[in-house]
Each structure stands twice: as structure tokens, then as C-alpha cells.
Amino acid sequence: MATWKGLAKVLIFSAILLIASPSWAAHPLITDDTGTQGKGKFQLELNGQYDWDEEDEDATVKSTGGQASATVSCGVAENVDLVFSMPYVWGKAEVNEITEYDEKGIGDAVLEVKMRLFERNGFSMALKPGISVPTGDDEKGLGAGQMGGHLFLIASEELGSWAFHGNLGYIRNENKIDERKDIWHASIAATWEVIKNLKLAANVGVERNTDDDANNDPAFLIGG
């Protein structure tokens, strides 16, 4: 029989699949910029993610999962984009080599509007509100089962070959698994164009933990 700690880890892993996230900037950055497509222009992004984790304490817990998503951005005005994302998610978790969770399917869709509100001398600001639609099967752990929302304030500054971006956001994490519902996000990113079509990028940020009992908040550092 698996211990309660091992089962808890399985539940935490499957809960990750419930959260419909906002669509982020171009890889490898998570922090978004204020750029829009322009009126009448479209962009299709295909993104993928794979997660793997193994822990040995009272029980051996192995978790794998991932997400593949398609995001379509449509320029409805020069400074306004309509963004739609649809993910396909999967996850599997084993406790002492016994499968406790194994599901895959469509996740929760996300609809957003990105509005660039101010632009002057290389500095610009934008707002990005959005909603998550419960299209995933919450009984299988593929969706939250409730409609959520988020609002992000985005700022960008371009200085020659350098660009800097900052995001402040609020996510209403509606769910059925007793996770924290009010989540904040803060992140910054910088890019440097070394030569034409080649950039170096760095991204750092932190987001409030969805676990009410957690004593710290997850942070990230990305380079590319």
C-alpha cells in the first residue's frame, strides 16, 4: 500500500494539469512583451513541454507528463490582438511502480486580448486580460472544471540592441481541488541582439504558490 505522502505527490502532480495558464512570450521567455501582430495579421505558435520527476522517501514516486498547445494570435487592430490557445495535456504517476494516475486529452482553453495602450521613445505598456474556459475533463484531472481569469500589465523598453520586459499579473485560479485561488505573478526579461537574427535572452520571475500550506513561492530562471 502506498503511503499518504506518496499519494499526495501524485495528487500534486495531477493538479498541475488542471491550471489553464496564460499564453506567454516567444520561447524561451515566459515574460511577455508589448508587441502585437498588426491589423489583419495572424500568427500560429506550436509549443511543447515535457515534465519528469522521481522521488524516494517513504515511497518511490515517478511522475511524467507534458503539454502540446496551439496558439493563434489575430491582429484586430494595429495595437490589439485576440489570442486563443488550446492545449493537449497528459500525465502519468506511479507509486512503488503501481500506476495511480494516467490520463490524457484536451485541456482548458484560454482566450485573451492583448492591448498596447502607450508607446513613446522605445517605451511601451500593454494590458492583457484573459479567461480560461473549462473545456478539459475535470473528472480525469485534465481541466479545472470552472471558468477562471487573469490580468497582466506588461512593460517593454528598447535601447538599441537591448530590450527589457516586465510583467505583473493576477490569476484567478478557480478550481475544485482546494488550491489557492488568488495568484500573483512578477517577472522580468532581457534580450541582447548579438548579431542579426541572433539574440541572447535571460528571464527571471516568481509566482505565488497554489498550495495553501506551502511556505515558499516557486521561482524560475531561464537563459537562451
pLDDT digits (tens, 9 = 90+) for 175-206: 888 889 999 999 999 999 999 889 999 999 99
**pLDDT value at 84 more than 90:** yes
Q: In this structure, what CATH number is given to the domain that contains residue 186?
A: 2.40.128
Name the DSSP letter for residue 21. Answer: P
Report the pLDDT averaged over residues 51-62.
84
pLDDT digits (tens, 9 = 90+) for 105-151: 999 999 999 999 999 999 999 999 999 999 998 888 888 889 999 99
Quote the number of domains for the chain: 1
Cell 522580468 sits on residue: 188
**Amino acid (1-letter code) at residue 194:** V
Q: Is 40 left (phi over 0), alpha (psi -120 to 50) or beta?
A: left
- Domain region containing 146: 4-223
Distances from the Cα of 118 to the Cα of 18, 51, 122, 182, 204, angstroms:
34, 38, 10, 28, 24
Other CB atoms within a 10 A radius of the CB of residue 163 amount to 19
